[in-house]
Structure 1
């Protein structure tokens, strides 16, 4: 074989191998979520496959080509690294995609994107929802929601629940002003009890911010993708109160009639 051809093949092989190694980065990067609002804590983490002694990870954070944050992060012995950023301050004024770029050693680069929404551009909706209460007509529930929209509110009298169906485009929060006349959670002595809150079948905590004589105000956090929020109390739209009273009256009347007939027979 001609020596020029041989060395040419070797050169091509070396270049190809070098290109392959350059494409395979020794470092990875990610964030703990894909969407953030102003004030959120962003956890950036990753791992290097080969630890280079005393070499830190250089992190850069950009939006629209502008540098938002820069840091040098120490790599642990197992190759992992982590960095926390608070999404607030003058550099966090623009909504949109933010790019995390990490560099390690020579030519080892990894990138990751997330979206950010400042407080001024967060969509917060406050309005009333008219709930169908069956034979009782309707009743209004005032609510405020951030991170989604309310699609429907349904009464489930079998489990004494108000089911709020939401379209959660992001992690968010909903505050509901629940009228005591139609839904509540009470102990036997008439004092307030806690509600049971389920989101897609999983029990979650809630906060009660205000207690009024005619309503209770509760706040529930939800995650992106959540759909059904069940608020379970001890009563919901007393539809069966009238029926129960009618049954009781019928029972009393039947007892009176039977008693009267009994005395008439004895006479």
Structure 2
């Protein structure tokens, strides 16, 4: 082998050695980087079963929430015990958890102060027996620890009790365009020369009192149903008996001619529909009279006869 061939072979061997060392260094460097990345990863539960994995995840989650609260069931009867449990993330000495229960009608059912254990857990029992728990529906259990920021809630359903009856608002009477409302009754009317501002039923005088704004001389025609007023026989305008009146006994229609400036027209009859309070008073009076009569009869029956 001549000298030129020897130099070529030596150069080839040097190049191969350099590539081998570079590859080995690269593999070692990548291995070191992977080890550093693995050290930065959070610990994994390699051989845990699904339940243990869920428990571990739940524990980690509760540590990030100021206060957690839950119950042993979601549905209860009205004579059950509700087991309320919870966890406080960061406990403070001298503080307890305030547990408040709110009913479906938004009223407070009970308030309880619960001590917190060293590990941050707390637990209490709630008895659903009692009048404050009588309604079916969703009850909200609130847990508060020291401040409003550290609060949480859970909801449960109570069944098998009384159905909650929502309070009903009294319905307002809606009358037609040519009708006016008087004590919840619609009375047909027409007017010229002015406007009707209001009307009411006077049960004491058996009359309908209508307030008007009369800019000119005009006419007011009123046709109350006979169940509202009957037996119309007199009309007063601003407190004085009025003669310019036409009364139709058959149709129960009354027409009044008034002067400009008139303010109040009172139509008097022999009957007007009584108010609810009047009906209740009449029923009460009849009931009292009946009781007195029965009592008197009973006393007479026990008097010895000679």
TM-score scaled by length of structure 1: 0.44
Larger helix fraction of residues: 2
Higher relative CO (Cα under 8 Å, sequence separation at least 6) belongs to 1
TM-score scaled by length of structure 2: 0.38
Larger strand fraction of residues: 1
Whichever of the two has the greater Rg, that structure is: 2
